[in-house]
Amino acid sequence: MNIQDPDSDENGKVHCVLDENIHFKITSTSNNFFTLVTEDELDREIASQYNITVTCSDEGVPSLSSSVTLTLQISDVNDNAPVFERSSYEAYIVENNTPGLSIFTVKARDADWNQNARVSYILEDSSVNGVPVSSYVSVSADSGVIHAVRSFDYEQIKDFQFRVKAQDGGSPPLSSNVTVKIMIQDQNDNPPQVLYPVQTGGSLVAEMVPRSADVGYLVTKVVAVDVDSGQNAWLSYKLQKATDRALFEVGLQNGEIRTIRQVTDKDAVKQRLTVIVEDNGQPSRSATVIVNVAVADSFPEVLSEFTDFPHDKEYNDNLTFYLVLALAVVSFLFITCLVVIISVKIYRWRQSRILYHSNLPVIPYYPPRYSDTLGTGTLPHVYNYEVCRTTDSRKSDCKFGRAGSQNVLIMDPSSTGTMQRIQSEKSILDEPDSPLEVTYSIPEEMPKGSFVGDIAQDLGLDRKRLTSGKARIFTGDSAEYIELNRERGVLLIKEKIDREALCGQTTPCALHFQIILENPMELYTAVVEITDINDNTPVFEKSDMKFKISESAVIGAKFLLERAIDPDVGMNSLQSYFLTKTENFVLKLKDQPDGEKIVEMVLQKPLDREKQEEMFLVLTALDGGEPNLSGTAQIHVTVLDVNDNAPVFTKTVYKATIPENAAKGTVITKVTASDADKGSNSKITYSISNTAADVRDMFEINALNGDLISKSGVDYEKARYYQIHVQASDEGGLTDSCKITVEVIDINDNKPVINIMSQTNIIPEDSKPATVVTMVNVQDLDSADNGKVHCSINEHIPFTLKPTSSNFFNLLTDSDLDRERASEYNITVTCSDEGVPSLSSSVTLTLQISDVNDNAPVFERSSYEAYIVENNTPGLSIFTVKARDADWNQNARVSYILEDSSVNGVPVSSYVSVSADSGVIHAVRSFDYEQIKDFQFRVKAQDGGSPPLSSNATVKIMIQDQNDNPPQVLYPVQTGGSLVAEMVPRSADVGYLVTKVVAVDVDSGQNAWLSYKLQKATDRALFEVGLQNGEIRTIRQVTDKDAVKQRLTVIVEDNGQPSRSATVIVNVAVADSFPEVLSEFTDFPHDKEYNDNLTFYLVLALAVVSFLFITCLVVIISVKIYRWRQSRILYHSNLPVIPYYPPRYSDTLGTGTLPHVYNYEVCRTTDSRKSDCKFGRAGSQNVLIMDPSSTGTMQRIQSEKSILDEPDSPLEHHGELSEQSC
């Protein structure tokens, strides 16, 4: 840039500066040459264009400056890589989907422009389970839509992840990538699989139930799994068919088959149950399993019902014998137990009788805070309890009824029951009771602060209303002559008013303004009329007028005089003229059609140069004010010789027009005058006379040709027409005059001016339609169509602009507002006139929408499902619920509350808790899958508005099983009974079913999947165990060499990690008859000759029972006699006895009585589930009676008799000694 300043020295020295906060600077390169350079790095993404204003100023006083604005565009460089909207994505797709299905869309944005901002999406190479990820999904290069290439199976793959690269179109291209995780959602596409019992072609005997089984006896457990997940794998068990439905039931959740009543002899041995296993999917899938149950007490009985195994009569007879023998043995055991129990009971009862029948006094000891109850006959019982509350209790232990919100409707019984609402509030635009316009009249030139009028009283307003409504005056122009005193409610003079400066010759002269009030908005119009006072004297524009009049001037010749100007109006304006007394001239006033007066000096007597060559006259102008004011001018008359023809205009009045945008020097019109004289007397000179100075400044006339020329621009808005008086003078001094009326033609050169009279910046979103937001006043100084104004606002916003009166508009709400859709509106008000071309102005109003709590929190999902493994740590975080509120600030602050409910009769708060701020759900306790498999509750999300809004969501917690229970063996039952469990005939073939080990696992799924293995065996080559069903079968032909007694140890393992196991011992007898088994498994001798006599065995059993009973009695009596003999040693001994007194026991010798202290203590703790009342146990009292005169022997008195003690010695009361052991 080159800067030039024609001044010299300091005035010509130039300094240039730039706007602040831009990335450029200006440096001087040489004299008056400057360079604009970049100061730091540019970033098109921050600013794509700079408007740089260079301002150059000199060092003169005052300093002068110039400026120029440079527009600089910043072109784009590929310096921004695409950025994904999120750092990682998660998407869900349901299994068995259609290939090509759209899963999800990733989106990346590039801050660059044009080709550099064009983003393409590429699937990065990776593998999923050894297979390229491109065989699973594909990504659209243009849109970023991810499609499934194949149909997914949840059971094969549950989730996988890959990376998508976003690359722009720059050179070189830039890129970024993001991780996308696809999670497969399960469908119920797999039926349940029954693991136990295994359905094979083996033995039909599955389970055994003894006839002595009580109600609830566990027969077996159906174990099934479903490879689906979630609710689709939630299995339920139902009994579909049964031989006797009144005998068995199936657990709905655990599949346990139990008896529902006592088994009787009438129940059939063979029971067939059909159990259906259903999952919880939609639609549900199921599987069925047949369970065979044998109601019997022995395996041979089962075989006789379920198989065709031959049984001969001898076997049946032996079976009867064994049954009788078993009955005898059971009877023996029962009698033995009964004897032992009775003996123990009698012994304890005898010991307790020692205390109750003692004659010794008892001195009780009372612990602190316990009172003595002896002697009162009753026992007052003090029971103290304490109610404890902690500050972090989630629920109150003391619950009080909650008072509901009280809604009271007061209704008149006589009314019809309808209720009407009375609105006392008035709309902003409601008509007030007071008048809308007041008028005042004041004289001009009143001092500042003068009283104008009591506006509050005249408008019928309270003074407080002026203050609360922020009343103010609005005027269309910038001059403010009137001010409003809100406190007094009056109008005062703000600036001294000069009527002539304000209105000129316009009458009446008035100030128009508006008074505006807010809350609610009100508008009143006030008019203050300014009356004229006589404060201006008539003034001649030319104080000295010179006339050259030929002596040949005829009587009646007229000479136009300069008129006086008086800015006042009415009577105060110019009224008359006076001329100093002269014989030659008189004054004549000539009224014009427009009301003006032209002063002419008329010759009434011919002039005579020889008598008087010059005359000096005084012209006086007088107004009509009180007092009168006057002005004077000097008239110098020179008498010329012999020019008796005056110039004459062709028209008395000329009319012309000029557009207000006419350029300087425009010829408006031409006036023409003629003079009959010849020579120099006919030469006419044109001039402007009797015209206001401001008009003379705007127009000039060519003195030679009479052309009227504009000297400066005209403004229609200042004056619509001008009157110019033109005088034509010849060389002889004769003149004529005419008037030119110049009408100004209006052009559309003024834009509408928009004035914001009152504006609301913030409006609540619940505002009703037709609420006034802003009041606007529009003024256009043009006239006619050029001054007609139409206003509008931008479209598609809930507002409308309505006119209220001339040039006044109200901005109203057009419909309901919603801050969540738009929190701010930039409303552009555009006003245009009807001129050609039309001119317009606009103003932008920014309106904030304040929030109202009209949106409840919304959960991301209506229901949630979460999983937690059993045996969890209390306080573990399970899941997080999330709700969002579309409102703002406090109204959008969400708190999470656990709704009151119960799970199995227990408050849900004892299971889980929810964080009020984050929505994190924590486990309060450790869960056990075997006790509870799932439960659900509701979480409420509540915002912080007033009143608060809320919503809720259902959360279902599903407990996942752990392998924390070992298998339980149901059959064979491990008892202390007979060791003979199963019998295998020696004629058994390969695959003969010996028995079946039945076990259950209370765990679920694979944790309950049991396998059976033979751990130990007497002969491993003879038996095998079914891995899945637990059936023990022979794996070869039984021979005579095989031992009769076979002992098998079977281990049962589940399929959990780590696995748990249980073992069971199975005794197998390889024999064809029961006596052969007994000879091997027992030590009882069997004589062959007794085997045929059932009665003998019955007698033998009776003898055995009697023998055992008598033996038991002899043993008991012997023990008792032995103890009694030992106790007699002390009583008949001649050794002296020195008594020993335990602590707190006193010597009773010589007192004749025995104080007996019996201490007891009652203990209760605040956390005791039961009361622990502990009493000291009194030992047996042994009383030693001593005679001081005796030889030292002591006799013992027993106050209570033992079971076997007898009182052999008499009672003697010489001395007493008390012993007590605690």
pLDDT 10s digits, 795-850: 889 999 999 888 899 999 999 999 988 999 999 999 999 888 899 999 999 999 99
* HSE-CB of 87 using CA atoms within 13 angstroms: 0
Q: How far apart are alpha carbons 177 and 164 in whole angstroms?
A: 5
> Beta strands 673-674 and 721-729: pairing type?
unpaired
- Give the pLDDT score at 366: 42
Q: How far apart are alpha carbons 642 and 644 in whole angstroms?
A: 6
Residues 6+ apart with CB under 8 A from 1167: none
- Give the pLDDT score at 1078: 59
3-state helix, strand, coil in the chain (%, to 5): 15, 35, 50
Q: Is the pLDDT of residue 1189 over 50?
A: no
Task: Give counts: helices (H), strands (E), the chain.
Answer: 9, 83
Please give the average per-residue pLDDT across 560-580, as a whole number. 86
- Give the pLDDT score at 340: 81
Closest of 625, 723, 643, 626 to residue 682, by C-alpha: 643
- Give the pLDDT score at 480: 80
CB 974 within 8 A of CB 943: no
Give per-residue pLDDT as tens, 275-312.
999 999 888 999 999 998 988 877 666 666 655 434 44
Place of tokens 């009326």: 741
Give the lowest-confidence range in 41-45, 588-592, 760-764, 780-784: 588-592
Confidence class of residue 1117 from pLDDT cuts 50, 70 and 90?
Answer: confident
Query: For residue 279, how many other CB atoms are within 10 A of its CB?
Result: 23
Q: Is the pLDDT of residue 541 over 80?
A: yes
* HSE-CB of 985 using CA atoms within 13 angstroms: 13
- Give the pLDDT score at 627: 85
Give per-residue pLDDT as tens, 950-972.
999 999 999 999 898 999 998 88
Please give the average per-residue pLDDT across 462-489, as a whole number. 83
393-396 contacts: CB < 8 A, separation 24 or more? 394/909, 394/913, 395/907, 395/909
- Give the pLDDT score at 1172: 42
Q: Is the pLDDT of residue 1042 over 70?
A: yes
Q: Is 1184 helix (H, G, I), strand (E, B) or coil?
A: strand
Tokens of 623: 């107004």
Q: How far apart are alpha carbons 582 and 845 in whole angstroms?
A: 74
Please give the average per-residue pLDDT across 116-131, as a whole number. 92
User: Which residue type occupies 982?
Assistant: E
Mean pLDDT of the chain: 80
- Give the pLDDT score at 1074: 64
Percentage of the chain beyond pLDDT 90 is 38
- Give the pLDDT score at 465: 87
Please give the average per-residue pLDDT across 408-434, as a whole number. 34
Confidence class of residue 462 from pLDDT cuts 50, 70 and 90?
Answer: confident
Tokens of 203: 């033995």
Q: Is the pLDDT of residue 920 over 60?
A: yes
Q: Is the pLDDT of residue 353 over 90?
A: no
CB 833 within 8 A of CB 786: yes
Helix or strand (DSSP H, E) at 994: strand 993-996
Tokens of 969: 């063996």
Please give the average per-residue pLDDT across 708-719, as a whole number. 88
- Give the pLDDT score at 975: 63
Query: For residue 62, how many other CB atoms are within 10 A of its CB?
Result: 6
Q: How far apart are alpha carbons 648 and 199 in whole angstroms?
A: 143
Tokens of 1177: 């146990």
> Beta strands 270-278 and 286-295: pairing type?
antiparallel
**Burial letters for 1170-1200: b for 16+ Cβ neighbours within 10 Å, e otherwise?**
eeeeeeeebeebbbbbbeeeeeeebbbbbeb
Residues 6+ apart with CB under 8 A from 1053: 967, 1010, 1011, 1013, 1059, 1060, 1061
**Burial letters for 317-327: b for 16+ Cβ neighbours within 10 Å, e otherwise?**
ebbebbeebee
Residues 6+ apart with CB under 8 A from 450: 442, 492, 493
Place of tokens 């022995």: 298
Helix or strand (DSSP H, E) at 1128: helix 1094-1131
Show the 3-state SS of 442-501. Answer: EECCCCCCCEEECHHHHHCCCHHHHHHCCCEEECCCCCCCEEEECCCCEEEECCCCCHHH
Q: How far apart are alpha carbons 987 and 982 in whole angstroms?
A: 15
Percentage of the chain beyond pLDDT 70 is 79
Closest of 487, 480, 482 to residue 451, by C-alpha: 482
Handedness of CA 813, 818, 824, 828 (dihedral sign): negative
- Give the pLDDT score at 146: 95
- Give the pLDDT score at 976: 53
Q: How far apart are alpha carbons 847 and 841 in whole angstroms?
A: 20
Helix or strand (DSSP H, E) at 1127: helix 1094-1131
User: Which residue type occupies 702?
Assistant: N
CA separation, residue 1201 to residues 352, 619, 1186 (Å): 11, 169, 21
Give the lowest-confidence range in 249-253, 506-510, 696-700, 791-795: 506-510
Place of tokens 């008796």: 644
Give the lowest-confidence range in 88-102, 1042-1056, 1158-1172: 1158-1172
Q: Is the pLDDT of residue 144 over 70?
A: yes
Residues 6+ apart with CB under 8 A from 686: 671, 673, 701, 702, 703, 704, 705, 706, 726, 727, 728
- Give the pLDDT score at 1102: 66
Q: Is the pLDDT of residue 1171 over 80?
A: no
Q: Is the pLDDT of residue 878 over 60?
A: yes
Closest of 164, 132, 165, 171 to residue 149, by C-alpha: 132
702-707 contacts: CB < 8 A, separation 24 or more? 705/670, 706/670, 706/671, 706/672, 706/673, 707/667, 707/669, 707/670
> Beta strands 1061-1070 and 1023-1025: pairing type?
unpaired
Q: How far apart are alpha carbons 309 and 423 in whole angstroms?
A: 101
State phi, psi for 161 to the nearest 5 degrees: -140, 160
Give the lowest-confidence range in 73-87, 232-246, 663-677, 1208-1222: 1208-1222
Its pTM surpasses 0.75: no
Confidence class of residue 380 from pLDDT cuts 50, 70 and 90?
Answer: very low
- Give the pLDDT score at 675: 86
Answer whether the bond into residue 627 is a cis peptide, omega within 30°.
yes
- Give the pLDDT score at 317: 57
